[in-house]
Amino acid sequence: MILCANFKANKTRQETRAYMAVVESFVAVNEIEDTVIVFPPFTALEHTPRNVLIGVQNAYPVSNGAFTGEIALEQLEEFDIKTILIGHSERRHVLGETQEQIAEKFRFFSEQGFAIVYCVGEPLTIREQGNEALMCYIDDQFVGIDLSYPDLIVAYEPVWAIGTGLTPSNKEIEAVHTALRLKTTAPLLYGGSVKVDNAGEIMALSNVDGVLVGSASLSANDFCEMIAQAAELKQ
């Protein structure tokens, strides 16, 4: 399983340090073999060896240059960052990133050999139109994306489920993941209101290879509990 914690614009550097201490110790003591990835804000990046992976929530697709307010490859290399989240719904719908910009990020960071957690997902109006419309919408989010990239992880995150407490039914999650499985052999994560109460059952669904967790990952204890649930699934 792959478990990702997406902090978004939450947690200071100090809070992230305290959080990492809890999660790293949990992973070590319990000899966790699942992949754990934490995406803290840029200000909390540190040059410390970790037993969990650290990724970034975004970056600009250049080595360096005149891009005010952006972070580029050179700054990520300083922290040995080789993992990035691309196409998250908040970047698409709140920050206004276009598919063209997203595909450019994908191209640049895949050429740099980054592990890419690539997010797709439909708004509620599309979900209401049924499965065909939904998969068409997701197909458009794959334009310019190499689905055979070896370090690709795909995260299915319905926009209406993110941060709302709403989730699709297990059957609905399985239906989308089964359709995604026909398009790529990449691991498939589900994201959108995953919490301790539903993580185990979601990870047990067919074609679900892990979870991408926002709000509920902000508690180190809750995130560790989800890691424990993943470990239990293997037994």
Active centre residues (catalytic): 88, 157
Could you tell me the CA-to-CA distances from 207 to 69, 103, 203 in Å, in that order?
A: 38, 25, 9
Element (H, E) at 21: helix 13-29
How far apart, in whole angstroms, are the C-alpha atoms of residue 115 and residue 134? Answer: 26
Q: Which of 213, 224, 226, 230 binds ligand PGA (CB under 6 A)?
A: 213
Of these, 162, 186, 188, 189, which contacts ligand PGA (CB under 6 A)?
162
* Separation between Cα atoms, residue 20 and residue 205, nearest integer Å: 28
Q: Using the rule CB under 6 A, is 157 a contact of ligand PGA?
A: yes
Does 87 help bind ligand PGA (rule: CB under 6 A)?
A: no
Report the residue number, 73 or 83, with the smaller CB distance to ligand PGA.
83
Nearest to 209 by CA among 132, 108, 234, 84: 234
Closest approach, Cβ 122 to ligand PGA, in A, equals: 14
Judged by CB, which is closer to ligand PGA: 8, or 107? 8
> Are 59 and 71 in contact, with CB atoms under 8 Å apart?
yes
Longest dimension (CA), the chain: 51
Q: Output 3 or 44, the one with its CB closest to ligand PGA.
A: 3
Which of 41, 123, 144, 163 is the binder for ligand PGA (CB under 6 A)? 163
Residue 192 interacts with ligand PGA (CB under 6 A): yes or no: yes
Q: Is 193 in the site for ligand PGA (CB under 6 A)?
A: yes
Dist. CA 76–CA 62, nearest whole Å: 11
Q: Between residues 30 and 164, which has the closer beta carbon with respect to ligand PGA?
A: 164
Task: Give residue for tokens 């993580």.
Answer: 199
Name the minimum Å distance from CB 70 to ligand PGA.
21
Applying CB under 6 A, the residues found at the interface with ligand PGA are 6, 157, 162-163, 191-194, 212-216
